[in-house]
């Protein structure tokens, strides 16, 4: 079964492992994550759990959401997300109103982290697509950071599709696969993930057990066959 939980990206820190090596980690706070609805393939057409994150004042909630929260036995939530399962998954182990804890993950688990990257606005091709730009020599004028020629001659006489150009950069949904959980603080509902994850501090991210298999490491050195 693929477990998943939503949490708030707190920021980055560093921890030491058993050998004394230092590792950069991202801290994710999963406090206040509750199941607000359990969806099954028979009733809704697919299997999923709806999760509510973040508290909201009751007077700021419309009646439809207030009734939905009352039925689940959960205080009004700020944001709702879903985690999908296989249609043949046994959903009886999930109940509306059930709190999801960081302790569902263990130290050493391999996970996928899904988040929205930082928005960087309208940027040029050098920042957006890593173009190297034009030669910064004495003869170059006004074209240091331009993208260069982007069209063609009489045939086909148009700009080809997928041509790299300036445009909106960032603010997109990204999945970082095969990250490692270095530590789980169950009492504080904190998960320490090795490395960086997308999004600014305070943004919600989804942590779930990976279904991708990390590629095996190649052996060091050359092997000599007999």
Query: Within a domain: residue 49?
Result: yes
The tens digit of pLDDT for each residue in 9-58 reads: 999 999 998 889 999 999 999 999 999 999 988 888 888 999 999 889 99
CATH of the domain at 121: 2.40.30.10
Split into its structural domains, the chain has a count of 1
Query: Within a domain: residue 216?
Result: no
Query: Within a domain: residue 155?
Result: no
The residue range of the domain holding 127 is 4-135+173-209
Strand bridging mode 122-123 / 33-39? unpaired
- Residues β-bridged to residue 191: 28, 184
**Whole-angstrom distance, CA of residue 201 vs CA of residue 203:** 6
Q: Which of 1, 105, 94, 9 is nearest to 50 (CA)?
A: 94
Which pTM value belongs to this model?
A: 0.82
| pLDDT < 50 stretches in the chain | 1, 223-226
> Which positions ≥6 away from 143 have C-beta within 8 Å?
134
CB distance 145 to 152 below 8 Å: no
- Residues β-bridged to residue 208: 4, 112
Query: Within a domain: residue 196?
Result: yes
Query: Within a domain: residue 52?
Result: yes
Query: Within a domain: residue 180?
Result: yes
Query: Within a domain: residue 223?
Result: no
């Amino acid at each position: 079964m693929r477990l998943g939980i939503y949490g708030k990206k707190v920021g980055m820190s560093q921890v030491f492992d058993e050998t004394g090596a230092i590792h950069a980690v991202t801290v994710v706070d999963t406090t206040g994550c509750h199941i607000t609805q359990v969806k099954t393939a028979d009733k809704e057409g697919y299997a999923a759990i709806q999760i509510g994150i973040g508290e909201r004042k009751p007077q700021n909630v419309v009646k439809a959401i207030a009734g939905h929260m009352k039925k689940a036995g959960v205080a009004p939530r700020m944001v709702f997300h879903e985690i999908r399962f296989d249609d043949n998954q046994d959903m009886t182990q999930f109940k509306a109103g059930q709190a999801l804890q960081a302790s569902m993950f263990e130290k050493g688990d391999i996970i996928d982290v899904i988040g929205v990257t930082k928005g960087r606005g309208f940027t040029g091709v050098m920042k957006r697509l890593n173009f190297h730009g034009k030669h910064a020599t004495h003869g170059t004028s006004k074209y240091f950071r331009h993208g260069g020629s982007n069209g063609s001659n009489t045939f086909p006489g148009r700009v080809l599709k997928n041509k790299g150009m300036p445009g909106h950069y960032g603010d997109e949904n990204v999945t970082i696969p095969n990250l490692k959980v270095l530590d789980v603080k169950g009492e504080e509902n904190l998960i320490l993930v090795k490395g960086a994850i997308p999004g600014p501090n305070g943004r919600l991210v989804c942590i779930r057990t990976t279904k991708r298999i990390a590629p095996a490491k190649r052996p060091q050195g050359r092997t000599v066959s007999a």
